[in-house]
Amino acid sequence: MTQAGFFALVYAAGLAFNLAWGPRRDAVLACALAFPCGLTFWVLGALLGVATGLASAPAFGLGTLVALVVGSAAASLRRACTPISWTRVAACSAAFVAGAVLVSQFSLAKFSPDSHQFLRIAAVFSRGGRLGETAAFLADRGIFTFLSYAAGELAGVDFMFSLAPVVGLSLAALLAVAISRALEREGVDRRTRLLASAGVTAAVMTTYVIAFHMVYIHANLGSALYLFGFGALFWLAERDGDASLLSPALVCLVAFSIHRVEAPVFAALFAVLAAWPSQLPRRLLAAGLFAFGAITAGWLLLLSAAIPSEGEFLTPGRAVLLSAMSLAPLAGLPLAARLPRALVARHLPTAVLVVASVGLAVTFAIKPHHMMTSLEAVVVNLLGVQIGLFGYAWWAALALGALCLATPPSRIARPLLMGVAVSVIVVVLLGFFRVPYRVGPADSAGRMFIHFLPLLYFLYAVKLVPLRRWRASAAEEAG
Amino acid sequence: MGQVILWAYVQLVGLALATACGWARRPMIGCALGFPLGLVAWGSALIALLWLGLPLVAAIGAAAIVLAVAAGAAAWRRRADVDGRALAAAAAALAITAAVAALATAFPLAIVAERGHRILLAATAIGRNVDSIDFIWNILPSPPVFQASLHAAAPLVAGRPFFAALSPLCGIAAVVLLAGGGAELAGRGAGRAVRALLGLVLAAALCSFLFAVQATAVDLHAAAALFVIAFLVAHAIGEESAAPASIWAELLLLLGFALQGLAESVAASAMLLAIYGCDRRDPARLARPIFLYTAVLTAWHLLLWEAIGRRSLTVEPREALALTAAPVLAWAGLLAGTVRLSRPAPRRALALAAAGLLVVGIGLALGWTGDGDPGERWTAAARWFGRYRPGLSDCLLLGLAAVCVPLARGSASAAAAASVCILAAVELLIDLGEPIDPRELAGPLRVAAAAPALLLVMLTGVRLLTARRDETESRLDSAATATTATTATSGTAPARVNLLPAPRGLFAAVVAILLLTNVHHQVRAHRLTLRDARRLLAAGPTSLAGDERQFAYYLMGEWIPGATVVIPPRLADHAVFFRVLGRVAVEIAESTPRLRPDAVAQLAPLRAARRPLYYHVAAESESVYLLPSPRSSRYVLAEASPGTLYLLPEPLYFWSAIPAPGAAGAAR
């Protein structure tokens, strides 16, 4: 099997999943989600192999993909009454395969010591490595990237040098399609939709640090893809009450949560902000959050038993704490259900923001110099144009954020926008538990901000593009 | 011949743009505005394409096609305005442009002074596809990028080092605009006296040192003067005729003026923008054009700011940032100033404010004590005036303009007076803190200031000679009175003027700026990697068979059969790689081994045999190095620096620290 063949298999499995349990009516969106979802299932299968030790990670991953295709086909038959636009499926699939084949012809990979470590561990897993002997390396990196690169042996190459470009292209496709679909639901005309989706996608993907991560072997672009997938799909699902989008959204949330060591914090944060005030069926939300909590918490508990007791990043105690946080969205759902929905929607984001801000203030009070050093590095990395990481992306984000404050609040976008704002605080806060952040492209905080950029611009687009004027006329307000 | 064709093409594009902006109904002025409009469109398109990284040939071709299509499409929508008179005027304008270009090419009178040489140097760099902006920043303290980009095409288009016809064309276009615009603004009732005065003014303009000399020099002055006068004429006539589409032409011309320099022209254009925005009778119509103008200038200066930050040359980043903010602040001021106004702000007050600014500028420039004694500065100023030998016509012009400023009446006169004051004040403010150089006879804005000064003198003279009240002002005042009366009668509050574009527009502008700066950064980075022979897209082998891997952990067993790797406790985690990937024996030492004192001497010959371990497919070196020794099969893994590991022969270490084979702890 070649790399392109592997990508096609993953895509096919993801497509089967989406057509069975995802946005079956919207073939283009299903195709855009196919690769991210398929890759998640590959990783979850491989994770099962690593955790149980019954077979190698690739064998379990491959088995999972095959089982997914079969299971999805069976499920699709039960939903056969919903039509599928096979022409669009074929066109989008052909485009994906052509793109995958194209990027598989060139070696574009960029490395750092972190990349080498990713590939080494991936190689160990692809040759039957077990959890125990690699646990020391898993304490400072998420498992997702290791296992996604573990397919190198299967694909007959040193390493999956085209995986990062394919992930990047998937992010671009999903960003464009999601913006277009969201604006369509907001009643924006076709020309504006096309312009907005193309413009925002181009602006986000050409940001230097994101473009670089399209060829750089690391975990951040994948995190960005999955966090964006969750946020955008949840927005779309909430907008029209379309529960079929919940499945891929929660798959994205699971994938995001195992991308990095600290990712469960952000995953739980977004899950709480999105799910608790949601108007989607509680039963479906509970099932999704149960799957998220079970997988994430289960993996973290397993890891807590294997990793060294001392470390800079993940320790057994922290792993247990994170696993508890992963279960928090599910645990709090019944409580949120008892409260008036409007009350939760109005006050929950503010409450979370206040709590995070207080936490940040406490960390500054305890270690003022340490936290100031971290904060300065974060600010320079984000806003320093001469450094060239984000260019003007965060300047523009700040300007658009100010613009959003001057426009009417949006029920659906507000919790997610607040989630990004709180995440920024949490990133700074996490600096308390480690050596201070530093200025430069290798800094962890600077790279973490990649995760939020696509989602932020998506939310800005869906909030601002439909506004043709600042205030609705009296007639519109009356109507 | 190529030069003639190019400038005729520029004139043609300008005529199409003028038609699109509604100027075909006034064919004479429309044709006079054609050249500056075409020039700014051509220059802006060329700069944008060059900045995006296109080679010069491709940029010229793309700019020509894009402009022809865009201008043609825009003009097609106003085709009903074009009649036989307009067509005849356009044909005449084209013929005049071609004739002037042919004459200037055949008999070049070009003066190339110091700045002209630097412009041509930069043009050569652009023509040879050097990373133009970096190069320009290195050689020019204040880069006239617009002029350099225009002249860069000369070797390709005309087979000459520069366009000798450019400055003459700009000068003649400015004179034609002065004459035509003055005649239009003076009114039909002016009669013979007006025509006589126009003749005098034309003669003064042609004889003026500041104007005539610069109309033959390879420099930015003629173009700057042309854009200022074209803007003034378009604004005054557009305001008089209440032609909404002329706003686009005005802002395009103002953009052309702003792009001439780096600092002073931007600041001056921002102030002109604020003054004329407040002066408009219909400020609400300005929203989109001014917003676009602000966005373009802001993007341009953000790019410059980025380049400046890397170079730290003449213009400091904070100054550039202030300049970046200037158009935005002007726009914000305009927004704040007009949002509650239901009629134009008093023009005389604006002119007086501009004159006050001029006084403050002069005072600050001469009395500035930052760098020395104020007395010395006054002396230097006096010396400057003493050595100033521009000729009688210039003295006459300056004196007349100074007299005319307080006499200015009417929209066009007040606008011209305000422009003179603004341009002169900005010129002085830009020089703030530096002594006036007596040799500096023509600063970038001093020539530009001469153009509105001529217009001001001409209009004031016409008013005094004909002793008539300016009809334009009368009409404006009566219109304003009517508006107020209507408002009072209806009893409703004046309509709020909303200059702020819709959220959608602001969002689009922010995204467009972000995209532009991102693309520029990517292109620049790519060109830098090309220069260092490091391509962004490094094509390499697409895949490798398993046995070709040159990967430390894989090949250790192949390179040194029967090898054993001894790993100190701190690096014990690495055991899994050697065991699983290299399938070599691994021992974990009980304590950290130490290098022998003579190890360095023994390492020196081994360094030649160092085996970097890398992924062939990416030409990427691993951070693990092997120094093989023919006598050793046991190697110790040592960390030379964080993340860089060496496998060194065991004899280089103290034996006491290495456990005997089999006696050490089992491999993890």
Which residues 357-386 in chain A show a CB within 8 A of chain B? 385-386
Residues forming beta bridges with residue B620, ordered by sequence position: B615
Nearest residue of A to residue B309, measured between CA atoms: A386
Strand arrangement, sheet containing B585-588: B585-588, B564-567, B634-641, B644-649, B620-626, B611-615
- For residue B646, pLDDT beyond 80: no
Range in B155-169, B411-425, B594-608 with the lowest mean pLDDT: B594-608
Question: CB-based contacts of B183: which residues, under 8 Å, 6+ apart?
Answer: B190, B194, B195, B198
Residue in B506, B514, B528 to test binding to A, most A beta-carbons within 10 Å: B514
In a domain, A281, yes or no: yes
From B579's Cα to the closest Cα of chain A, the distance in A is: 9
pLDDT at residue B317 in the model: 54
Which residues 170-199 in chain A show a CB within 8 A of chain B? 192, 195-196, 199
Domain that holds residue A436: 3-469
* Inter-chain Cβ pairs, chain A and chain B, closer than 8 A: 149
- For residue B185, pLDDT beyond 80: no
pLDDT at residue A290 in the model: 92
pLDDT at residue A33 in the model: 93
Give phi and psi for B627, each to the nearest 5.
-110, 90
Using the Cβ of B666 and the Cβ atoms of chain A, whether some distance falls under 8 Å is answered with: no
Q: What type of residue sits at position A417? A: L
In a domain, A476, yes or no: no
> What residue has token string 């602040």?
B329
Query: Which chain B residues are within 8 Å of A104, Cβ to Cβ?
Result: 542
Range in A142-146, A318-322, B147-151, B213-217 with the lowest mean pLDDT: B213-217
For B1-55, write each residue's pLDDT tens digit. Answer: 678 888 889 989 999 988 888 887 788 888 888 899 999 999 888 888 877 777 7
Q: How confident is the model at residue B262 (pLDDT cuts 50, 70, 90)?
A: low
B305, B510, B622: residue with CB nearest A399: B510
Residues forming beta bridges with residue B624, ordered by sequence position: B645
- Mean pLDDT to the nearest integer, B74-100: 83
Query: Which chain A residues are within 8 Å of B556, Cβ to Cβ?
Result: none
A133, A203, A461: residue with CB nearest B576: A133
Which residues 20-79 in chain B show a CB within 8 A of chain A? none
Using the Cβ of A338 and the Cβ atoms of chain B, whether some distance falls under 8 Å is answered with: no
DSSP one-letter string for B142-159: S--HHHHHHHHTHHHHTS
In a domain, A97, yes or no: yes
Q: How far apart are CA B60 and CA B158, in angstroms?
A: 13
- Mean pLDDT to the nearest integer, A449-475: 82
B498, B511, B543: residue with CB nearest A203: B511
In a domain, A413, yes or no: yes
Which residues 553-572 in chain B show a CB within 8 A of chain A? 553
Number of domains in chain A: 1
- For residue B389, pLDDT beyond 50: no
Q: How confident is the model at residue B137 (pLDDT cuts 50, 70, 90)?
A: low
Q: What is the DSSP letter of B570?
A: G
From A132's Cα to the closest Cα of chain B, the distance in A is: 9
Using the Cβ of B514 and the Cβ atoms of chain A, whether some distance falls under 8 Å is answered with: yes
For B473-489, write each residue's pLDDT tens digit. Answer: 444 445 444 444 444 44
Q: B410-430 and B471-490 are packed helices; what angle lies between their axes, rounded to 10 degrees? A: 100
In a domain, A477, yes or no: no
Q: How confident is the model at residue B340 (pLDDT cuts 50, 70, 90)?
A: very low
**Tokens at residue A121, please?**
């561990």
The reply to whether residue B577 touches residue A120, judged by beta carbons under 8 angstroms, is yes
Which residues 449-478 in chain A show a CB within 8 A of chain B? 457, 460-461, 464-470
Residues forming beta bridges with residue B614, ordered by sequence position: B550, B621
- For residue B193, pLDDT beyond 50: yes
Q: Beta strands B644-649 and B634-641: pairing type?
A: antiparallel
Using the Cβ of B515 and the Cβ atoms of chain A, whether some distance falls under 8 Å is answered with: yes
Residue in B511, B641, B644 to test binding to A, most A beta-carbons within 10 Å: B511
Which residues 99-118 in chain A show a CB within 8 A of chain B? 104-109, 111, 113, 116
Identify which of A24, A32, A58, A55 has the alpha carbon closest to the alpha carbon of residue A43: A58
A107, A136, A400: residue with CB nearest B541: A107
Q: What type of residue sits at position A235? A: W
Identify which of A40, A33, A42, A30 has the alpha carbon closest to the alpha carbon of residue A76: A30
Query: Which chain B residues are within 8 Å of A406, Cβ to Cβ?
Result: 503
For B453-466, write each residue's pLDDT tens digit. Answer: 777 777 777 766 66
Residues forming beta bridges with residue B611, ordered by sequence position: B626
B537, B577, B615: residue with CB nearest A158: B615
From B125's Cα to the closest Cα of chain A, the distance in A is: 24
The reply to whether residue A106 touches residue B540, judged by beta carbons under 8 angstroms, is yes
Which residues 579-638 in chain B show a CB within 8 A of chain A? 580-581, 615-620, 622-623
From A103's Cα to the closest Cα of chain B, the distance in A is: 10
Query: Which chain A residues are within 8 Å of B544, Cβ to Cβ?
Result: 157-158
For B267-323, write each residue's pLDDT tens digit. Answer: 777 777 766 666 666 656 666 777 777 777 777 777 666 665 554 445 555 555 666
From A10's Cα to the closest Cα of chain B, the distance in A is: 20
Using the Cβ of B539 and the Cβ atoms of chain A, whether some distance falls under 8 Å is answered with: yes
In a domain, A81, yes or no: yes
In a domain, A146, yes or no: yes
- For residue A32, pLDDT beyond 60: yes
Using the Cβ of B525 and the Cβ atoms of chain A, whether some distance falls under 8 Å is answered with: yes
A14-29: burial string, b at 16+ Cβ within 10 Å, e else? bbbbbbbbbbbebbbb
Using the Cβ of B576 and the Cβ atoms of chain A, whether some distance falls under 8 Å is answered with: yes
In a domain, A242, yes or no: yes
- In this structure, is the dihedral angle defined by the CA atoms of residues A446, A449, A451 and A457, taken in order, positive or negative? negative
The CA distances from residue B3 to A340, B151, B154, B160, B439, in Å, are 75, 11, 8, 9, 33
Residues forming beta bridges with residue B621, ordered by sequence position: B614
